[in-house]
Amino acid sequence: MRERPQRTPLTLRTYARVTAMLRPATALLARRRLKQGKEDPERVQERRGEASIDRPPGRLVWLHGASVGELLSIIPLIERLQARGVTVLVTTVTRTAAGLAARRLPPGAIHQFMPWDVPVYVDRFLRHWQPDLAIFAESELWPNLILRTTARGTPLIQVNGRISERSFKGWQRVPRSIKALLSRFELCLMQTVDDARRIEALGAPRVSTTGNLKFDVPAPEAEPEAAMALAQAIGYRPVFLAASTHEGEDEIVLEAHRLIAPRLTNLLTIIAPRHPERGDAIVALAEAAGLPTCQRSRGELPKLRHAVYVADTLGEMGLFYRAAPVAFLGGSLIRHGGQNPIEPAKLGAAVLHGPHVFNFAAVYEALAADHGARQVTGADDLAEGALLLLADKRERVRQREAAAETVEALGGALERTLAAIEPYFLSLAMRSQ
């Protein structure tokens, strides 16, 4: 178990004082974020640590996954923890993740928004929920949350941990602060050997490499009636999907469509933006480029005259991956860090991606080694790669089979993670007797 923490460095004590003084400013922050649609007006009080429901009696395990990717990665873990007879509290930061939680969390799991990292809000949250164990996914390192959670005696574990080279270099500028934070974790269970090496160098005392939980997440479902309706609307048209695109990439995708269309009759390009609220802007871009477009958020299905289908809804990526034999994954032609290629690989879509995939570097490296994904650098490259895969069935099947085998071989992180945290569940069980 964790050793007694050393005195908190001045930087972290200053951070706590400053965030406490900034508490009044959170009212302005909340108003701005509500206006931008980034907060749920009916649940914004949760960001101040005010619970919207009572705490159930008995043991409670708190899991935090900031956004959609982190939440998806821990859903199988949540299910396995519930089977142990504990209540699971799940916190997220984004509204998108909250919407996903409403659809995908197993029955009995509780969802709340993570409080802002202000001391009084954190304390209010902890007093209400009184977690017996806290588990943070990936790279969430909020100082007040970490220090105040562990000060209450709550064991804290990091699962599916990752730390990029960029973050590593940033934390090296404040070595005492990051070491003080990492020393509060009972365990840091990291995705890759490189992640483990970096976090150990920053001062984490107990580190293991357990793999990436995202490899063990079941492929997203597709509602049968919606899948049938979309399949009937598409018919025998060739389909190219641009998934989780970010601002600055849609123009590149539309240019790629323009280059492919003369060589592939009746091509339909589906653009599924990472942030669905950008749907109207993408429609405007496509129509300005002379491409007839329809929009899923308006209840429309593509007709033969439509060149582009803007899929600006939530929770339907399983539908679109099944509809498209070739998928470009966004966030990779800009310096965002890429998107998770595991879901399309499991659903049989041949994957294209840009060069900026540092958030999923190990996954893409494994896919590249097995020739299970193809890198592109711009519109010409994207058009060439998509056309090759759409026109050559043999190459398309070869690539997607290679990707599926790679993803299958890299599974097992869930069992390794459960084995690592088992002693903490035994301790909970003994304390509750």
Q: Helix, strand or coil for residue 403?
A: helix
Indicate the burial class of 173 (C-beta count within 10 angstroms; 0-12, 13-18, 19 or more).
exposed
Strand partners, 111: 90
**Interior/surface letters 350-374, b for 16+ CB within 10 angstroms, e for the rest:** bbbbbeebebbbbbbebbeebebbb
* Helices assigned H by DSSP within 216-370: 224-234, 250-260, 279-288, 317-323, 342-346, 361-369
Marked catalytic residue, from 70, 249, 316, 343: 70
Number of other CB atoms surrounding residue 377 within 10 Å: 12
**Closest C-alpha to 351, from 40, 423, 223, 370:** 370
**Closest C-alpha to 373, from 344, 408, 347:** 344
User: Roughly what angle, to the nearest 10 degrees, separates helices 95-104 and 68-82?
Assistant: 30
Would you state the torsion angle of the CA atoms of residues 405, 316, 222, 302, taken in this order, to the nearest 10 degrees? Answer: -110
**Closest C-alpha to 252, from 337, 310, 308, 333:** 333
Strands (E), 168-264: 187-190, 207-209, 239-245
Two tokens, residue 174? 């404040």
Two tokens, residue 154? 């709550």
Query: How many H helices and E strands in the chain?
Result: 18, 14
Is 316 an active-site residue?
no
Q: Are 257 and 269 in contact (CB under 8 A)?
A: yes
C-alpha distances (whole Å) from 139 to each of 162, 173, 190 are: 6, 17, 10
Two tokens, residue 268? 């339909």
**What are the catalytic residues?**
70
